[in-house]
Amino acid sequence: MASPEAASLIRRLTRGDHRALGEFYDLYAGLVNGLALRILRDRAEAEDTVQEVFVQVWQQAARFDPSRGTPEAWLCTMARTRALDRLRKRSSRREEPEKSDPGSSEAPRTEEAIAVRKALDSLPGDQRTALELAYYEGLTQTEIAERLREPLGTIKTRIRTAMIRLRGVLGPSS
């Protein structure tokens, strides 16, 4: 059975409440990241998986059926599926020799990385720092709060606000 808080967040998500996504993310990102990291053993790919899962949550919140399981089980299923898909892609890339220009597949990723870096640079310093510590150094929100000597609630707000701003700059598919 879903906790009352999770059930309320999912109802709000189905109504398109952006704040609910931030709260849902704060509540479950650690779980999703931990599972993805155990499967993929690659921090960057695990972080990408977390983002994909929460985009999917945003797009498919109305499909959640509490009679079929908990939000945790729903998220773990999505994370596991996405992580295993990434593993399959990774192994198929190793098996297939390069058939096209090797630089051509890197160009979109490089452009994406530049866009993300510019978007990060546009954030206020405190938000950017909190986000970079979370995503690039893999620190938990509690660890960030301890390192920066700030209240945990402040760190959560900074990360959530930064994510909302990044989505606004980069668009919903980012």
CATH 1.10.1740.10 is right for the domain spanning 1-93? yes
- The values of phi and psi at residue 34, to 5°, are -60, -45
Q: In the numeric block, which tokens belong to residue 166?
A: 């990044």
> Looking at residue 166, what is its pLDDT?
84
Q: CA-CA-CA-CA torsion for 109, 115, 116, 121, nearest 10 degrees?
A: 150
**pLDDT for 68:** 86
The per-residue pLDDT for 132 is 80
Q: Are 162 and 131 in contact (CB under 8 A)?
A: yes
- State the pLDDT at residue 1: 54
Q: What is the pLDDT of residue 51?
A: 94
CB 130 within 8 A of CB 20: no
Task: Look at residues 32, 121, 119 and name the one whose alpha carbon lies nearest to residue 81.
Answer: 32
CATH architecture, domain defined by 114-174? Orthogonal Bundle (1.10)
| The predicted structure's pLDDT at residue 28 | 94
DSSP 42: -
Structure tokens at 84: 């295993």
Q: How far apart are CA 165 and CA 23, in angstroms?
A: 15
- Average pLDDT by stretches of 10, the chain with 174 residues: 82 93 94 91 92 93 90 91 87 58 55 78 88 76 89 91 85 60
Q: Where are the domains of the chain?
A: 1-93, 114-174
Please check whether residue 128 is in contact with residue 159, taking contact to mean a CB–CB distance below 8 angstroms: no
Nearest to 71 by CA among 36, 19, 32: 32
